Amino acid sequence: MALQDNRERLFVCSSVAMRPEIRILDTVTLRDRQEPRTEIGICAPDANVNATAVIVEWGNPSELPSIYSGIRTGMAGENHLIYRPALVDKGKEIHSSMRSVYTDNRWLYGAYGRRVKYFRLFFRQAINNS
């Protein structure tokens, strides 16, 4: 969950039985401000999956707000990626989605692509001691 637009909207990500869903709610009435949508790669598909996401409202291409999420792919969730969905303005896709390559860790050591002054994203590494 995250507050947006001067605390007027509440961004909610839920797993909904392995079908991740995003809802934007009015903070006063808690009613949907737009149609709920299924988005793969943003919300964790299961409550037991350790996933992190941040909303970046300024500094993206065309100054469009977006969510960046640390997701896991593969049959056993072995591939850790950073994902940003397509940037959309007035219902039109302006910039395509982006994701890191799971074998390339350079996103972990600095801002992605162009310089972003206010944002850095790091993965938490799970450690299993045997």
In a domain, 123, yes or no: no
Find the domain containing 36 and state its range: 2-109
| Non-local CB neighbours of 9 within 8 Å, separated by 6+ positions | 3, 24, 25, 26, 27, 33
Lookup: tokens for 18? 């392995």
CB 113 within 8 A of CB 66: no
pTM for the full predicted model: 0.64
In a domain, 120, yes or no: no
In a domain, 58, yes or no: yes
Count of the separate structural domains present in the chain: 1
In a domain, 114, yes or no: no
In a domain, 10, yes or no: yes
- Name the strands in the sheet holding 98-99, side by side, starting at the edge strand that comes first in the sequence: 52-56, 66-73, 79-84, 98-99
Residue 127 confidence (pLDDT) above 80: no
Cα separations (Å) of 121 from 103, 124, 127? 17, 10, 19
In a domain, 93, yes or no: yes
Question: What mean pLDDT value characterizes the chain?
Answer: 74
The pLDDT of residue 89 is: 92
First-residue to last-residue Cα distance in the chain: 34
In a domain, 35, yes or no: yes
Per-residue pLDDT averaged across 71-91, rounded?
Answer: 81
Provide the 3-class DSSP secondary structure of residue 107. Answer: helix
Distance CA 86, CA 1 (A): 20
In a domain, 39, yes or no: yes
